[in-house]
Amino acid sequence: MKTNPDQPRRQTSPNGPLKGLKIADFTQLAQGPFAIRVPGDTAAVMGVGSVPDGLAFDTDGFLCVSCYGDNHIWRVSPRGKKSLFASDPSSILLNRATNAAFSGPGRHTLFIANLGGWHIAKIKAPIAGQPLAGS
């Protein structure tokens, strides 16, 4: 990730399949909810206090977004529509959820790191995750 010098408040992916994808428009922070930009430049609004952190793509092209502010995992479609994939308001399994990655048999397990805990959460996923580059 790098800051685009032409738009200093926006980050872009420098290469690969996400080349030039606008990840976050930080000017929105002053105006309200944080937004994740997905292909096609549509926005999925996570909500104030949500704090999106970890990202992992599944084989359907959906983006799984872990949010440590509210312990939610969202699944965002290529058109920007979001659906709640997992939530833990008691902060037992998801405790300030941060990074996300698919692994395990057939990549049907979503692993979530937790900033507020001493563990990595393991969630069964109905859709397989995309392999990481180089795997």
Read off the pTM.
0.67
| Integer CA distances (angstroms), 111 to 77, 80, 101, in order | 20, 23, 5
Q: How many CB atoms lie within 10 A of CB 34?
A: 20
Domain ranges of the chain: 2-124
Q: What are the structure tokens assigned to 2, written together?
A: 């790098």
pLDDT in tens, 58-76: 999 899 999 988 999 999 8
2-124 folds as Neuraminidase (2.120.10)
How far is the C-alpha of 50 from the C-alpha of 13, rounded, in Å?
A: 22
List % helix, strand, coil for the chain (3-state, nearest 5): 10, 45, 50
pLDDT in tens, 22-59: 444 433 334 444 444 444 444 566 777 788 899 999 99
Q: What are the structure tokens assigned to 84, written together?
A: 């709640």
